[in-house]
């Protein structure tokens, strides 16, 4: 198969990509990354060349900047950063992929990506906006689904508390719990506007701004009879408060700990872990790649909810690859509503 340029135009010879220049100590700084021009070549045999249209920036990328063993490989110094992206095939020498196809892949943080498409997935812009495949219909939506129904074993009638509830994962967790019959859904967020969004648009029964006072006291007021399931995107004082509010045999899904990703010293654990024993609680982490068997069910259930408008979502789109690192810092500060995405469409 011969490489073909899109629309009969010449293929690019270079493109920009964000590289890791130094390991951050605490909060990442502009000097820790660099935006470089790198060569772009025609695809080799069995490979495709993709022009990225959107890429995702997510909290889990901060630990990847450390030189530490984790469930996903650390970013390497001097190498491009990576993450999910959606783009258009502009040249192909791979069977099954044609110029003009849109694909979801894992070589974001750059304008162009040339790779073997073994793990690339075709996506259809006529079914949903392309950016949705990075959020509600992508890894974040699937994380919400697998955490709530797989790890969390949600059942109708559960009272659910979600931290970081206006974010990409948290907003889907709360809505899915409500749509599937939760008795009460409570969320926390970092601004009063986000609190209103949770209640007025996403249908949460109650929500609070964690910056307005004690998380423990605000959660107690929002869920006076306790909770059965906690979905944790934050850690820290939120986890401690949830342990206090969980009923006997309650469950906590530990998805993220954004409150401590930038700490340069070890973070103390909750001071009430003895309650895990006396209440017979279950606290379990989730790594979404452990739950691929749920993906067909996810698409079958969530796709129609999204298409019908019952499952709502917001995106915060920052335009321009040159603003990619600022968008990433915005996620860590909680400046996004819904999924934070960098757009390369202009």
SS3 240: helix
User: Residue 105 above 60 pLDDT?
Assistant: yes
pTM (2 decimals)?
0.80
DSSP string, 173-218: HHHHHHHTT-SEEEEEESSHHHHHHHHHTS--SEEEEGGGS-HHHH
Q: Check whether 5 has a pLDDT greater than 60.
A: no
Residues in CB range of 209: below 8 A, 6 or more apart: 188, 189, 190, 191, 192, 194, 195
Q: In 10 A of CB 247, how many CB atoms? A: 14
Least confident of 22-26, 152-156, 262-266, 280-284: 262-266
Backbone angles phi, psi at 124, to 5 degrees: -115, 115
- Which of 253, 332, 261, 257 has the alpha carbon at shortest distance from 288? 253
Q: What is the DSSP annotation of 2-43?
A: ----GGGPPPPSEEEEEEE-S--SSS--GGGEEEEEEE----
Which region among 66-75, 195-204, 274-283 has the lowest average model confidence (pLDDT)?
66-75
**For residue 243, what pLDDT is reported?**
97
Q: What is the pLDDT of residues 215-242, one digit of tens each?
A: 999 999 999 999 999 999 998 899 999 9
Cα dihedral 286→82→191→311 (10° resolution):
-60
Residue 119's SS3 state is: helix
At 100, is the pLDDT very low, low, confident or very high (cuts 50, 70, 90)? very high
- pLDDT given at position 327: 97
Q: Residues 115, 141: contact at Cβ < 8 Å?
A: no
Whether the per-residue pLDDT at 207 is higher than 50: the answer is yes
CA geometry: angle 6, 10, 11, nearest 5 deg:
75
For 37-63, the pLDDT digits (tens) are 999 999 999 999 999 999 999 988 999
Asked whether the beta carbons of 176 and 156 are under 8 A apart, the reply is no
pLDDT at residue 11, rounded to an integer: 93
- How much is the average pLDDT of 205-219? 97
């Amino acid at each position: 198969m011969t490489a073909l340029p899109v629309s009969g135009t010449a293929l690019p010879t270079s493109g920009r990509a964000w590289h890791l220049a130094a390991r951050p100590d605490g909060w990442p700084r502009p000097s820790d990354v660099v935006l470089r021009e790198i060569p772009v070549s025609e695809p080799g045999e069995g490979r495709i060349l993709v022009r990225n249209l959107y890429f995702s920036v997510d909290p889990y990328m901060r630990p990847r900047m450390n030189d530490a063993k984790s469930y996903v490989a650390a970013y390497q110094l001097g190498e491009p950063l990576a993450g999910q992206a959606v783009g258009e095939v502009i040249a192909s020498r791979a069977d099954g992929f044609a110029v003009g196809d849109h694909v979801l892949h894992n070589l974001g943080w750059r304008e162009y990506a040339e790779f073997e498409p073994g793990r690339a997935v075709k996506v259809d812009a006529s079914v949903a906006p392309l950016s949705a495949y990075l959020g509600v219909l992508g890894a974040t939506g699937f994380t919400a689904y697998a955490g709530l129904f797989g790890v969390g074993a949600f059942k109708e009638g559960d009272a659910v508390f979600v931290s970081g509830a206006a974010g990409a994962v948290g907003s889907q967790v709360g809505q899915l719990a409500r749509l599937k019959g939760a008795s009460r859904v409570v969320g926390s967020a970092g601004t009063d506007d986000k609190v209103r969004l949770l209640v007025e648009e996403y249908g949460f029964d109650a929500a609070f701004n964690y910056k307005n006072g004690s998380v423990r006291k605000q959660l107690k007021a929002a869920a006076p009879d306790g909770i059965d399931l906690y979905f944790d995107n934050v850690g820290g004082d939120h986890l401690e408060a949830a342990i206090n509010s969980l009923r006997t045999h309650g469950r906590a899904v530990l998805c993220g700990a954004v409150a401590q990703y930038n700490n340069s010293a070890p973070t103390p654990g909750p001071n009430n872990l003895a309650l895990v024993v006396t209440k017979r609680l279950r606290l379990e982490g989730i790594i979404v790649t452990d739950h691929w068997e749920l993906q067909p069910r996810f698409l079958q259930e969530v796709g129609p909810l999204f298409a019908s408008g019952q499952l709502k979502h917001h995106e915060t789109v920052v335009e321009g690859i040159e603003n990619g690192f600022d968008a990433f810092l915005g996620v860590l500060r909680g400046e996004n509503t819904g999924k934070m995405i960098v757009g390369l469409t202009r």
